[in-house]
Amino acid sequence: MKFFHFRIIILFVLISRVPAGAAGLMRSQTDTISKDTAAFVSPYEEDNQRCFKCHGQSKYSYTNESLGREVRAMMFSERIIKKEDFYKANHKSFSCTDCHSTEYTTFPHPGELRMEAKLNCIDCHGGDETYHFDAIAEEYQKSSHFKLESEGFSCYSCHDPHTYKISVRNSQNLRESIAYDNAICLDCHSDFNKYQLLSDHEEINILKKHDWLPNQAAHMASVRCIECHTQINENLPVAHLIKPKAEAVKRCNECHSQNSMLMASLYKFESKEQRKDGFFNGIILNQSYVIGANRNEYLNLLSLVIFGGMLVVIAIHVFFRINK
Ligand code: HEC
Ligand code: HEC
Ligand code: HEC
Ligand code: HEC
Ligand code: HEC
Ligand code: HEC
Ligand code: HEC
């Protein structure tokens, strides 16, 4: 009987704390608008223009020698590279022909170029200490997606060589960065055509699969897919081991608690920076209330009142039992 009462008390305290934590969540973000510095000017601007004149937009034209006139045609959307995205990306200082054969300057492109071998990230970035490419590659090889390599999956499936840019590490606006990172996954997970290139799996409705998350839209705007789907690795800035779906994070308190796992993933870069400046305590206080440490005082009071009330009930019970 007593045991039963204690369970109820614990339940009440827990229930009264969940919304209290959530109330603090709303005050979380200090979104600053990122101020773009002067636009990047590539030394290869002119060279690249040879390719952008066709690959930079949805229409292109060329002189058809057998017809002896200019022909206009549509560029497939998959072959379009937005110029402004390219010059903001990690590889903005490259010439197209650093990675592609110079034979692409002729059109129609020679057919054998289709068979051209591609460089991997590691071919150029192996041994890197800042981003830990080798450790990332190792994790990727243990990831759920790795079995799709034979179907064409690779680092490039998530990191477009032309448009990928470092996001959360340099983030001025966490929400924007989260949206950027989630779009990487949704590129396939909300586009069944792309998904089907890799798998015969039946169509999966991502919204339905995450029905159990309250206010799904708010969650998807505040955390990344990789928070719940990768295995945390203290030594890696961005964990890359996508676990099987059955091992995805589902328990609320993995995030909504004082020692939230988000400190080791999403908020990692912020806390490291703060640690350097000796403001680590500040970030713990600031961020963990985001995820549930700082409670609403009225709700706290309420939980105390409930707690007190239950103690009184138990006391009365015990009193009558002893005096029976
Ligand atoms: C006159 C227009 C035109 C120009 C200029 C042009 N391309 Fe293309 N490119 C195309 C079209 C159309 C395709 C799709 C048809 C094909 O694969 O040939 C294509 C396809 C490609 C492909 C994909 C080939 C594949 O395996 O599917 C690559 C890579 C490429 N171009 C690179 C370049 C580079 C690099 C340049 C500049 C040096 C360039 N292109 C200049 C029109 C052009
Ligand atoms: C850092 C190396 C690198 C640079 C620089 C680069 N590419 Fe690519 N490009 C690649 C790789 C790798 C692929 C194959 C991607 C894949 O397998 O998904 C590719 C694929 C392509 C394709 C085929 C469509 C696609 O996106 O998969 C086109 C078209 C293309 N590149 C054009 C260009 C043009 C135009 C430029 C210059 C503005 C350029 N590339 C610069 C590495 C590069
Ligand atoms: C052809 C060689 C080559 C390939 C292939 C390549 N990179 Fe790079 N990458 C570079 C170079 C060189 C730089 C530095 C560019 C600069 O400083 O302007 C760079 C820059 C970067 C940066 C930014 C680093 C910084 O400090 O700003 C990231 C992140 C990056 N690459 C990721 C990747 C990923 C992920 C892949 C594979 C999907 C890849 N790269 C493929 C050569 C390459
Ligand atoms: C399933 C998708 C996916 C695949 C596959 C993938 N990555 Fe990533 N990667 C991400 C996401 C998401 C981020 C976070 C981007 C950000 O916020 O800057 C990231 C970040 C990175 C970063 C930046 C880390 C940092 O410290 O800021 C590097 C470098 C990188 N990936 C390399 C690779 C390499 C190399 C491979 C292949 C061995 C690979 N990735 C495969 C999704 C992927
Ligand atoms: C290039 C397309 C593509 C991208 C990008 C992609 N995925 Fe996937 N993913 C797939 C396909 C296809 C499957 C189904 C594999 C199968 O047939 O079992 C899959 C499976 C999964 C699974 C289930 C794994 C299992 O074994 O149960 C999870 C979880 C997942 N992806 C998460 C992600 C996350 C998180 C990202 C972004 C960081 C991402 N995916 C990016 C194509 C993609
Ligand atoms: C709060 C944690 C959380 C977030 C955030 C999250 N997921 Fe999930 N996801 C899960 C859990 C838990 C499951 C397993 C659900 C089940 O078994 O019914 C799952 C299932 C999946 C599956 C497997 C579906 C299947 O049945 O094969 C995919 C794919 C997936 N998520 C992709 C994503 C993508 C893409 C995002 C980002 C837009 C994302 N998830 C964000 C927790 C999360
Ligand atoms: C991967 C980490 C993570 C998991 C798991 C998670 N949450 Fe959240 N949740 C967050 C973050 C971060 C926010 C902050 C939203 C914001 O920006 O205000 C949030 C917001 C909320 C909110 C307020 C959102 C709103 O505006 O309605 C509630 C309520 C909530 N979570 C309850 C839950 C419950 C219940 C579960 C378990 C079923 C859960 N959360 C699982 C990270 C998580």
- Render each residue's pLDDT in the chain as its tens digit; 324 residues: 344 343 433 333 333 333 333 333 333 333 334 445 567 899 999 999 999 999 999 999 999 999 999 999 999 999 999 999 999 999 999 999 999 999 999 999 999 999 988 899 999 999 999 999 999 999 999 999 999 999 999 999 999 999 999 999 998 899 999 999 999 999 999 999 999 999 999 989 999 999 999 999 999 999 999 999 999 998 899 999 999 999 999 999 999 988 889 988 898 887 555 544 433 333 344 444 444 444 444 555 666 677 777 777 778 777 777 776
d(CA 136, CA 238): 8
Q: Which protein residue has the closest C-alpha to ligand 7 atom 41? A: 252
Which ligand 3 atom sits nearest the alpha carbon of residue 131? 29
Which ligand 7 atom sits nearest the alpha carbon of residue 249? 5
Q: Which protein residue has the closest C-alpha to ligand 4 atom 39? A: 155
Q: How far is the CA of 158 from the centre of ligand 4 (A)?
A: 7
Residues 6+ apart with CB under 8 A from 321: none
Please tell me the number of the ligand nearest to residue 15's CA.
7
Give the pLDDT of residue 299: 52
User: How far, CA to CA in Å, does 40 sit from each of 37, 84, 105, 160, 165?
Assistant: 9, 10, 24, 19, 14
Pocket probe mutation, ligand 7, options 216, 253, 256, 257, max atoms within 8 Å of Cβ:
256
Give the pLDDT of residue 25: 33
Tokens of 308: 């007190």
Give the pLDDT of residue 271: 58
Rounding to the nearest 10 degrees, give the CA dihedral for residues 23, 26, 28, 29.
180
| Cβ 122 vs Cβ 134: under 8 Å | yes
Give the pLDDT of residue 8: 39
Give the pLDDT of residue 30: 34
Give the pLDDT of residue 293: 43
Residue 194 Cβ < 6 Å to ligand 2: no
Pocket of ligand 1 (CB under 6 A): 50-51, 53-55, 60, 62, 79, 96-97, 100, 104-105, 107-109, 114
Pocket of ligand 4 (CB under 6 A): 121, 131, 133, 136-137, 140, 145, 155, 157-159, 166-169, 177, 181, 184, 226, 237-238, 240, 242
Please tell me the number of the ligand nearest to residue 240's CA.
4
Tokens of 77: 């959307």
Pocket of ligand 3 (CB under 6 A): 90-91, 93, 99, 119, 121, 123-125, 131, 155-156, 159, 161, 166
Could you tell me the sign of the dihedral formed by the alpha carbons of 69, 70, 71, 75, in that order? positive
Residue 195 Cβ < 6 Å to ligand 5: yes
Rounding to the nearest 10 degrees, give the CA dihedral for residues 294, 298, 304, 309.
-160
Which ligand 4 atom sits nearest the alpha carbon of residue 168? 17
